[in-house]
Amino acid sequence: MGVSDLETRPSEYACGPVDAKGPEELLITARKVWLGRTTEVSRALPDRQIRMIGAWCFLDHYGPEDVAGSPGMQVWAHPHTGLQTVSWLLEGEIEHRDGLGSRVRVRPGELNIMTAGHGIVHSELSLPDKPPTLHGVQLWVALPDADRDTRPRFENYPVLPKVKLGGLIGTVLLGELAGVRSPALTYTPLVGADLTLAAGSSVELPLNPNFEYGVLVVGGQATVASTEVAVDQLLYLGSNRKAARLASRHGARMIIVGGKPFEEEIVMWWNFIGRSHQEVLDFRTAWESRDERFTPVVSRDEKVMEAPPMPTVPLKPRPRRRTTT
């Protein structure tokens, strides 16, 4: 998907070195953003205060939306660099196509992970035979400097390992949670999982003290550590925790993301992650000029997204976390 496909003045997101403070509970409410012309998403990351959690730099939740009488998702061909996209559907179906020739039905329970690296083009569209409901998340992972120019690849993992702890069932998307490891390709120490908490349950979820974590509620309501978290709220938990308590009176579904704090400064603009204004400008120019960096999606009467204008002020690094005094 596009970061800011219809934002007329896309923001600049840049991240500096991490200020890891240990455990904390910072509640973030996702903001509404239009994606393409038809899908409204709730964007939890980047946030004004917390721009990344580990290498996770982008977290969108969309739906559940009735798409029976609408086109559904219409995110046409657009480029990415320097990141991985993680597509995870909770309900419904979309089709992913990319410049590598991939053509995949994205379905609930299957992980689709696209490593953009040097550069890739993809589209994500609801098809005419789509199910009536669309509900999902899309996340981005920033690639570290050593790997961010890697060749692009797309992987589909139809079966993922499960964590079961009392009233909690988790699907591990990336990395490791409670001793259970996903086979998905990762480049930095991180974790992402889809957690379902049964009504009336309370579970102590083991965590890695070297990671920072956040929990986004995508259904129901939960108590995470000591904070009530509703749908489209992300609770940032900080680092240096051996565990966190998750409880829910009526049941909840959550996405947990975590990772070793990402120390590199990045510049994130539109669908690109780079390290400087000039590099992002070069990516934009390559896309607009149909440079060979971006092999087009073939075999569809493909509509293409044009990049928005560059901001009038240079993209430059700013602190990863907003400083409050």
**Binding footprint of Mn ion on the chain (CB under 5 A):** 1
CB closer to Mn ion out of 63 and 238: 63
- Shortest CB 308 distance to Mn ion, Å: 15
- Shortest CB 215 distance to Mn ion, Å: 24
125 vs 93: CA distance, rounded Å: 9
Cβ atoms within 10 Å of 310's Cβ, excluding its own: 17
CA atoms within 13 A on the CB side of 194: 21
- Shortest CB 253 distance to Mn ion, Å: 24
CB closer to Mn ion out of 39 and 201: 39
170 vs 167: CA distance, rounded Å: 10
- Shortest CB 4 distance to Mn ion, Å: 11
3-state secondary structure of 45: strand
User: Shortest Cβ contact with Mn ion: which residue?
Assistant: 1
CB closer to Mn ion out of 59 and 222: 59
CB closer to Mn ion out of 80 and 130: 80
- Shortest CB 100 distance to Mn ion, Å: 14
153 vs 54: CA distance, rounded Å: 22
CB closer to Mn ion out of 85 and 248: 85
- Shortest CB 176 distance to Mn ion, Å: 26
236 vs 158: CA distance, rounded Å: 29
119 vs 253: CA distance, rounded Å: 33
CB closer to Mn ion out of 18 and 125: 125
Locate all alpha helices (DSSP H) within the chain, ordered by sequence.
Answer: 277-288
323 vs 325: CA distance, rounded Å: 7
Q: With left for phi above 0 and alpha for psi between -120 and 50, is residue 220 left, alpha or beta?
A: left
57 vs 64: CA distance, rounded Å: 23
- Cα dist from 39 to 5, 88, 90, 137, 180, whole Å: 11, 16, 15, 12, 34
- Shortest CB 192 distance to Mn ion, Å: 17
72 closest CA partner among 110, 124, 123, 33: 124
CB closer to Mn ion out of 174 and 195: 174
